[in-house]
């Protein structure tokens, strides 16, 4: 028996007595003395069960349970409320917020042991299905890569994220992944832009907790959340922190239904690592022969890294009105890969969007560009609905 039980209780005597008793039964014990500390430990340690007091000064057990059930990593973790509150209404509230069982203090050690054993037994019966279920609760991660620089990968990423939030009304995060080359803060009028650099600067990946990543996010008026890269060129050295990158993206996937990663242009060492964390990859190109060649090579390289070719999608972003731009049908033929979306030139719209500090898809919802992005949003939501 090696299940880990997290005990959250502000009463130190209870922590000691209950912890010692359960240790003697062969369980691993972790302890927290308040609600916030308990949440931090639950998200970091992924316990098999949580024994939770209700009456705590900073955050009561009901609120702790609500937050545990809102987080994909703990939404299925068994919770046994252990409290001196004996009223029926108190128990009803406990079950309504997501507790699996309710035990009143004081109780006989044998009853506590029996309740703990029963909860863990029911959880273990689902063990075979637990891992897939947990992965299904992770957000759907979309990586956006430009075949070369200057093709609007960042613009596509932020508009895709804004469109996904507008359509689903769920949590959506857009993350810039290039430190020192951030542009979203300036374009969207956001003051804070050090989120990514701060996370990549952490010396121990074990310190990159979900709460720390959550606190690094910036909220936009549109409703989406953003992990912003700085615009200071000297931060570019952080591009080599590949372990931090992987940990951050894993944490982001537990914080939102959709995560859109702006991976920049071409393949960097960090983006090679992050591709395996993406459910879908979007390769941005324009209708110019040389760029098509680069896009074809990029698609081949992404596939060589282990991504199913069916999960790699080409987006044609014609940013300028020019006779040199090839039509979609010719680009698709030369690319040898399906174009899932074509964005036609709309420089005036994007200038207006920058002026009012809003994603273009929200700036003029009835515009042709907004409809084209909405079509891509529908494509992504359809892909998300497929079995993973």
Tens of pLDDT along 297-342? Answer: 999 999 999 999 999 999 999 877 767 789 999 999 999 999 999 9
Q: How many domains does the chain have?
A: 2
- State the pLDDT at residue 32: 94
Same domain assignment for residues 241 and 345 = yes
Same domain assignment for residues 68 and 154 = no
Domain CATH number, residue 209: 3.40.50.300
For the ranges 135-139, 205-209, 232-236, 368-372, the lowest mean pLDDT is seen at 135-139
Same domain assignment for residues 116 and 230 = no
Rounded average pLDDT over 357-385:
92
Same domain assignment for residues 44 and 56 = yes
- State the pLDDT at residue 141: 97
Same domain assignment for residues 129 and 154 = no
Q: Among 134, 153, 187, where does a domain finish?
A: 134
Tens of pLDDT along 82-110? Answer: 877 666 677 788 888 899 998 887 778 88
Domain that holds residue 142: 138-385
- State the pLDDT at residue 238: 94
Same domain assignment for residues 179 and 319 = yes
Q: Among 134, 166, 189, where does a domain finish?
A: 134
Domain CATH number, residue 119: 3.40.50.2300
- State the pLDDT at residue 214: 92
Q: Among 89, 105, 134, where does a domain finish?
A: 134
Same domain assignment for residues 151 and 40 = no
Same domain assignment for residues 186 and 298 = yes
Name the band, by pLDDT with cuts 50, 70 and 90, for residue 74.
Answer: confident
Tens of pLDDT along 193-230? Answer: 679 999 999 998 888 988 899 999 999 888 899 999 99
- State the pLDDT at residue 178: 94
Rounded average pLDDT over 17-46:
90
Same domain assignment for residues 242 and 347 = yes
Same domain assignment for residues 128 and 157 = no
Same domain assignment for residues 41 and 54 = yes
Tell me if 175 sits within 8 A of 262, measured CB to CB: yes
Same domain assignment for residues 142 and 130 = no
CA distance linking residue 250 with residue 253, whole number of Å = 5
pTM attached to this predicted model: 0.67
């Amino acid at each position: 028996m090696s299940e880990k039980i997290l005990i959250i209780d502000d009463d130190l005597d209870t922590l000691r007595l209950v912890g010692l008793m359960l240790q003697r039964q062969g369980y691993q014990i972790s302890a927290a003395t308040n609600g916030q500390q308990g949440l931090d430990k639950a998200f970091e340690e992924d316990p098999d069960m949580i024994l939770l007091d209700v009456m705590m000064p900073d955050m009561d057990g009901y609120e702790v349970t609500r937050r545990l059930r809102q987080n994909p990593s703990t939404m299925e973790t068994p919770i046994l409320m252990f409290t001196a509150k004996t009223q029926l209404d108190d128990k009803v509230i406990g079950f309504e917020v997501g507790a699996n069982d309710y035990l009143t203090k004081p109780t006989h050690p044998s009853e506590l042991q029996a309740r703990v054993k029963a909860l863990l037994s029911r959880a273990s019966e689902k063990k075979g299905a637990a891992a897939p279920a947990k992965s299904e609760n992770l957000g759907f991660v979309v990586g956006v890569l430009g075949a070369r620089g200057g093709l609007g990968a960042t613009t596509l990423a932020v508009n895709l994220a804004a469109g996904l939030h507008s359509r689903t009304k769920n949590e959506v995060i857009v993350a810039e992944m290039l430190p020192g080359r951030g542009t979203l803060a300036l374009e969207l009028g956001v003051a804070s832009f050090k989120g990514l650099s701060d996370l990549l600067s952490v010396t121990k990946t074990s310190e990159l907790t979900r709460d720390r990543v959550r606190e690094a996010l910036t909220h936009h008026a549109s409703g989406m959340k953003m992990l912003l890269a700085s615009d200071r060129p000297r931060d570019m050295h952080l591009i080599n922190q590949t372990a931090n990158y992987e940990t951050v993206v894993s944490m982001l996937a537990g914080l939102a239904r959709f995560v859109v990663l702006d991976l920049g242009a071409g393949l960097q060492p960090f983006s090679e690592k992050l591709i395996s964390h993406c459910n879908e990859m979007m390769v941005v190109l324009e209708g110019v022969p040389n760029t098509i060649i680069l896009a074809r090579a990029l698609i081949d390289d992404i596939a060589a890294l282990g991504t199913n070719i069916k999960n790699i999608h080409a987006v044609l972003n014609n940013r300028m009105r020019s006779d040199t731009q090839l039509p979609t049908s010719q680009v698709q033929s030369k690319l040898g890969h399906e174009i899932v979306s074509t964005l036609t030139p709309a420089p005036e719209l994007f200038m207006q969007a920058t002026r009012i500090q809003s994603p273009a898809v929200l700036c003029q919802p009835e515009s042709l560009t907004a409809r084209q992005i909405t079509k891509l949003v529908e494509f992504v939501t359809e892909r998300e609905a497929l079995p993973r």
